[in-house]
Amino acid sequence: MGRLVMKFGGTSVANIDRIRNVARHVKREVDAGHDVAVVVSAMAGKTNELVDWCRDASPMHDAREYDAVVASGEQVTSGLLAIALQGIGIQARSWQGWQIPIKTSDAHASARILEIDGTEIVNRFADRKEVAVIAGFQGINPQTNRITTLGRGGSDTSAVAIAAAIRADRCDIYTDVDGVYTTDPRVVPKARRLDKIAFEDMLELASLGAKVLQVRSVELGMVHNMPVFVRSSFDKPEDIDPHGTPPGTLICSEEEIMESHVVTGIAFSKDEAQISLRQIEDKPGVAAAIFGPLADANINVDMIVQNVSEDGKTTDLTFTVPASDYNRARDTITASKGKIGYIRLDSATDVSKVSVIGSGMRSHAGVAAKAFKALSERNINIRAITTSEIKFSVLIDAAYTELAVRTLHTLYGLDQT
């Protein structure tokens, strides 16, 4: 007997039949004696529809009213699931973020969780054996008493935060895949599911292109040392032993993993754009003149490469930004040309970033060198490189993305054996 948080994404609650299927998953855990809190997303496609309605009403809409609208998708799902659970004899009630309450900052559409009081939910476990069905993605700002939302993927963050608040034994993230893979199986059919992965490795995978979990949810899991189990909601509820270990991936502390592989996985992102500034005067303050305006415009800069000329008087500087921010970044740099003093701006949007992640890199030399050699043998040119203690990334032409991923996946022995 334990305490679980079960989170179900949009595809898992896409219609009434799937909501009934979710109810059977919950019933299985309740029948096994667990206290259960469920966090739900909006039904698949509903949030996009609500966002479109806001834009149609007014392109320059109030962010506070936007949150009031888009938070309603999760409210519908939580109510429907509570009804479905009651229909099969499970005591349940729905909770909205403000009712718990989940207290957040006032950054509407991208709020951060400040505090969760899980006392009432825990009391109802003890007094009524009641399942809490919680609307994910939302909270309330205590200063304004306005509904807030946490940004796309925020239901994952809600689930892990609630698990920490009620001191759950584990947070199960049910999704349309059966775990975390060494890379995208659609690109590498030999990709294999990982039984366990360290928080740090998962954080890198999530931030570098893997879309299984939202980055902030992994951060919260690591901060609170809350085990997160990624599993499929499409497994038949009746076929799963609630006391056994179903197929999936456990995200946990590195100490819980008996043997850490040198490389855990390969991530890639095609949402990249490259900007190169040529013949900049090499003097103090130039980097600030470039990256200060980009930061003010909330444009995230990733890879940065600087080359100093032979005479030491000028330099070339290359960096990447998300493709969605490319036009804004280019306009921002162009507007600051007088302060920066570059001669020419070159750019490319047909690029992708391929990243190799693994905690084992800390204790192994030459991991990146092997990749550079393997890519060169495939005639794949590397435009830029960044490294950290447990990962390195290369920027390449987008046309070679899949070839690069397959090459590196095989190079580091990640293919299914």
pLDDT digits (tens, 9 = 90+) for 304-322: 988 876 667 888 999 999 9
User: How many angstroms separate the CA atoms of 166 and 162, rounded?
Assistant: 6
Question: pLDDT per residue over 6-53, tens digit each?
Answer: 999 999 999 999 999 999 999 999 999 999 999 999 999 999 999 999
| Superfamily of segment(s) 266-411 | VC0802-like (3.30.2130.10)
Give pLDDT, residue 416: 65
Query: Where along the chain do its domains lie?
Result: 3-255, 266-411
Q: How far apart are CA 274 and CA 302, in angstroms?
A: 10
The mean of the pLDDT values for the chain is 92
Q: For residue 107, what are its two tokens?
A: 């950054």
pLDDT above 70 covers a percentage of the chain that reads 98
The pLDDT, as a whole number, for residue 50 is 96
8 Å CB contact between 194 and 383:
no
Identity at 128, one-letter amino acid code: R
Instruction: Name the CA dihedral angle for 40, 187, 197, 213, rounded to a multiple of 10 degrees.
Output: -20
Confidence bin at 364 (pLDDT 50/70/90)? confident
d(C-alpha 13, C-alpha 136), whole Å = 13
**In this predicted structure, what is the pLDDT of residue 311?**
66
| Cα–Cα distance, 399 to 396 (Å, whole number) | 8
Residue 398 — very low, low, confident or very high, per pLDDT cuts 50/70/90? very high
pLDDT in tens, 318-359: 999 999 899 999 999 999 998 898 999 999 999 999 999 998
Kindly report the backbone phi and psi dihedral angles of residue 306, in degrees, each rounded to the nearest multiple of 5, phi listed first. Answer: -125, 135
| Correct CATH for 3-255 of 3.40.1160.10, 3.20.20.70, 1.10.10.10, 3.20.20.150 | 3.40.1160.10
- The single residue listed with the structure tokens 């299985």 is 28
- Among the listed residues 51, 41, 38, 50, the one whose alpha carbon sits nearest the alpha carbon of residue 13: 41
